Every structure is written in C-alpha cells, then in structure tokens.
Amino acid sequence: MTILVDHLSLLYHPGSPLERVALRDVSLRVADGACAAIVGVTGSGKSTLAQCLNGLLTPSSGRVVVDDLELTPNGLHGRELRELRRRVGLLFQFPEGQLFAPTIGEDVGYGPSRLKLKREEVQERTRWALRAVALPDDEAFLARSPFALSGGQRRRVALAGVLSMRPRIVVLDEPSAGLDAEAREEIYATLRELRTREGLTLIVISHDMSEVAALADTTLALRDGRVALSGPTDAVFRQTEAIEAAGLLPPPLAQVAALARARGLLRAEPTSLTVEALADALIPAPRRTLGGDHAG
C-alpha cells in the first residue's frame, strides 16, 4: 500500500504563547513494498511526522493519504480513524516497555481482539505474527510471560503485537535502539524478510544513519521541521556536509568515502556504499587483483 504525505504542516498549541511549528510543508511518497527512512535529530519533527501517519496527530495543513483514506486538518473519526490505525501500524521506541499481558499470546492478540474478530481469527493472526518475527508459535510459548524473555525477544513480541493487526504499512521508531550488534543484525534481517515475504511497506524513523543504510531505499532528512534532504539513500549519504548540518553523523563508510574523496584518494566514485565498492574505489588499478602485480 502506498502512503503519501502532501505538504503537511503541524503547529503545536496554535494561537497560544506556546505555539511551536513542528513540521513545515513536508511531502513524501512511499511506494508499495518500499522502505523509506525519516531521519533527523531530536526535535527535528520526525516523531511528530510518524504520529501523523497513523492519525495520533492531526495536521494543521496538508494531508496524509493511505490508499482511499485521507487525514486532513478536519481529522478522522470513529470508523475511519480505526481503519487508518489498522492499515498503518506504529512501533514506538523501546517498544518492549509496552508489554502488559500475563501471556505472550494475549499481548500479541490484543490488537486483533480490539478489532472485534472471532477468537480463531485472533489466534491465527497471533501465530502468524510470531512466526513473522522469527519467534515460536506453539502453545507453550504463547503461554509464557512476556517478561521472562530477553530484551531483544521482548522487542520482537512488541513488533508481533503490531503486526498481528495485519497492517500494510509499518512505521518503526528507532527499531534497533539499545540493541547489541548481534541483535541489531537479527532485527534488520527480520524487517527485510517482512518486506520480501509479506510485501509490507516500511517507514523507519531514526537518527542512526547506519540503521538507515541497512534498511532503507529512500531517505528523507528533516531539520527544524523542514525537509533538508530527500532521495535514494545512497545519493543522500553522499551529501555528507548536508547530513552533518542536519546534526547527524553519516555512516562510517560514507565518512571514509567523503574524506578520501577530499584527499584525492579515490580512484573512482564508489558504485555503492558497501565495503566491496569502497575498497574497489580505494585500490589503485594495478593492485586490483589478488596476487597480481604489487608494483608501487
């Protein structure tokens, strides 16, 4: 499902002395099955934008379009709002902190049960969601307490809790925050699987550019509520000064590429920001084959 953000602006407390512009004329289009990243520092408006996508916040001007549903400054109510929240799932930062039920099955099944579905349907969705996040779906696991799991596993249960509502679009706020390197790689793998196997559209909110590099095809950088950069992730990462101006740190390989470019060490532009491509671009021509000529 495609999601479109059309010239969205949002003011907090309009008309009062506390009035603050959170978002200014932001536009974004995420194609079906794509993964887009929205990056920025704290206060750049990225969390505000994320909350507009599922109707937690209403824009002051502009709109959010999800298929045939439109969120305008008039807001959405009742059935339409529930439908938007069914289509767009939102996973907050450190989501393992929202687990509440005595069993994993109940927690993951909470969303579908609120949709007034039959018990078998809820069970089916619960199992599916757990499988989708690479967790067991047997009775024994469903009966366990969510609090008995490790941090990384609890995060997966929280993700399953959002997936069980069968959204077409999932917005994730810093999905790998606080995880160690191994658990990070696992969660990236899970998210990539979700895209390829289930065709979900993903939107990742982050201020970690390495996370973005691992997941997103396109990137939108926010600065003070405005769009500072946007485009394919690789292209955005080449603009290291602009990224730094937005208060962010480019991923290490992008930094190496930029510094090497400035010092004239690059033989050619790296084709992509991967280890292989960058190594290729740094190696002078005669040495490109292993065991070949080592002439200086």
Partner 1 sequence: MTSSTGLPVRATTRADIHLEHLSYAYPGAQESALADITLHIAQGDYVALLGHNGSGKSTLSRIIGGLTRPTSGRATVAGMDTAEPAHRARMRQVIGMIFSDPDNQIVATVVEDDVGWGLAARGFAHEVILQRTRAALTAVGLGSAYGLAPSELSGGQRQRLAIAGVLALEPSVLIADEPTAMLDPRSRVEISALLRQLNREHGLTVIHVTHLLEEAAEAHRVVALDGGRVALDATPAIAFADLDRLRALRLVIPDTAQLIERLRAVGIAAPSDALAPDALVRALEQRP
Partner 2 sequence: MLDNLPVGSYIPRDTVIHGLRARTKLLLLCWLAVAFFVANHKRFHYGVYGWAFALLLLTLSLSGANPGYIWRRMRVLFILMALSVPFILIWTTGATWRTLGPLMVSIGSLTFPLQIVVTYDGLWFAVSTTCIFLLLYLGTLSLTLSTTPVALAEGIVLLLRPFRRMGLPADEFGLMTLLSLRFVPTLTQETNQLIKAQVSRGADFTTGSLWARARGVITLVVPLTEGALRRASGLATALEARGYGVTGEATMLHEGRMRWLDWTLLVVIPLITIAVYLYL
By DSSP bridging, strand 169-173 and strand 88-91 are parallel
Work out how close the CB of 185 gets to partner 1 at its nearest, in angstroms, rounded to a whole number.
7
**Residue 132 or 273: which CB sits closer to partner 1?**
273
Work out how close the CB of 118 gets to partner 1 at its nearest, in angstroms, rounded to a whole number.
41
Site for partner 1 in 136-175 (CB under 8 A): none
Size of the site for partner 1 (CB under 8 A): 36
The token pair at 209 is 């550019």
Give, in order, the Cα–Cα distances in Å from 198 to each of 118, 128, 195, 218. 23, 11, 6, 19
Which of partner 1, partner 2, none does 114 bind, CB closer than 5 to 8 A by kind? partner 2
Out of 25, 29, 56, 268, name the contact with partner 2 by CB under 8 A. Answer: 56
Out of 32, 73, 75, 100, name the contact with partner 2 by CB under 8 A. Answer: 100
90 counts as binding partner 2 under rule CB under 8 A = yes
Which residue bears the tokens 């809820």? Answer: 122
Out of 44, 48, 54, 153, name the contact with partner 2 by CB under 8 A. Answer: 54
What x-and-dash track marks residues 206-245 binding partner 2 by CB under 8 A? ----------------------------------------
- What does the binding site for partner 1 look like in residue numbers (CB under 8 A)? 42, 177-178, 180-185, 207-210, 247-249, 251-253, 255-256, 259-260, 263, 265, 275-276, 278-279, 282-283, 287-288, 290, 294, 296
- What does the binding site for partner 2 look like in residue numbers (CB under 8 A)? 51, 54, 56, 82, 85, 89-90, 92-93, 95, 97-101, 110-111, 114-115, 147, 161-162, 165
